[in-house]
Amino acid sequence: MSLLLTHTKYRFLETIRVPIAVVGNTFFPSASMLFFVVPFAGDDPLVATLATGSMMTFSVMSTALFTHGLGVADDRAQPWDPYMRTLPAGPWPRFGSNILNGLIMTLLGILPVLVIAATLTEATVTPAQLLLGLGALLVASIPFTLIGLFVGYLLPAKAAIAVVQLVLLPMAVGGGLLMSPTDPPAFIAAVAPFLPTRGGAELVWAAVGGPAPRALPLVMLAVWTVVAGALAVWAYRRDEGRRFS
């Protein structure tokens, strides 16, 4: 445990030494709240609450993809990475520190969204709903964490950042995160249930007082999680084999 916390401490310090990484992590969900939710849905308590859940899901997705996709790819490019993998501590402290650092960055990403929702909209939740919503966000982050790990272990950093960007926006738009949660366009309504963003968002919406999640988005969220997990394990083992063969 002490090794895990030590790795997490230094990984977090390494992250915040580049302030733009923290700013970028918080900017897009907060800007989306200010430009899309506050002026168009801020006066409706239910819609504002659901839209805040959407923006928080967007923040979690973005953080997971960039932290693990780009972060792992950047680690692999460092000259000391092969040496670190030979140390007696094994891979788990480094791997666990990636996950914990991602959770810290996720918290930093959703805090501005919560502040904007509380001060500039009529969104409202009880303390219990807030805790349930945070738990739902944790579940929603799992497939994107695994997708990020898959990209990070498979690709070099320059390719990883491009792939993460290509994944992020279509997933967010296709899942209906950047439009009305109660009245999406017909095409989005047809596509969204098959994307992990929708399953995660519906879990968050249900946790904060919205409608119960439908079966299809939840099944597809589980399918994406299993497939992304298998791909992440394969990419990690492939990278290990290529480095030590």
Give 166-223 pLDDT, tens digit per residue: 999 899 999 988 887 777 888 999 999 999 999 999 999 999 988 899 999 999 999 9
In this prediction, residues 93-108 reach a mean pLDDT of 78
Q: Average pLDDT over the chain, rounded to whole?
A: 84
82, 196, 244 from 189: Cα distances, Å:
46, 14, 47
The answer to whether the beta carbons of residues 72 and 155 sit under 8 Å apart is no
In this prediction, residues 89-102 reach a mean pLDDT of 72
* pLDDT given at position 245: 58
* pLDDT given at position 207: 94
In this prediction, residues 130-140 reach a mean pLDDT of 92
Confidence band for 77, pLDDT divided at 50, 70 and 90: confident
Lowest-confidence region among 53-62, 82-91, 164-173: 82-91
**Confidence check: pLDDT of 83 > 70:** no
69, 81, 163, 164, 175 from 159: Cα distances, Å:
10, 19, 6, 9, 24
* pLDDT given at position 136: 93
Confidence band for 88, pLDDT divided at 50, 70 and 90: low
Q: Which two tokens stand for residue 5?
A: 């916390």
In this prediction, residues 109-120 reach a mean pLDDT of 87
Phi-psi category of residue 105: left, alpha or beta, with phi > 0 → left and psi -120 to 50 → alpha: alpha
* % of the chain at pLDDT higher than 90: 31
**Confidence check: pLDDT of 228 > 80:** yes
The answer to whether the beta carbons of residues 47 and 90 sit under 8 Å apart is no
* pLDDT given at position 96: 75
**Confidence check: pLDDT of 155 > 70:** yes
Please report, for the chain, the start and end positions of each structural domain, with discontinuous segments joined by +.
2-244
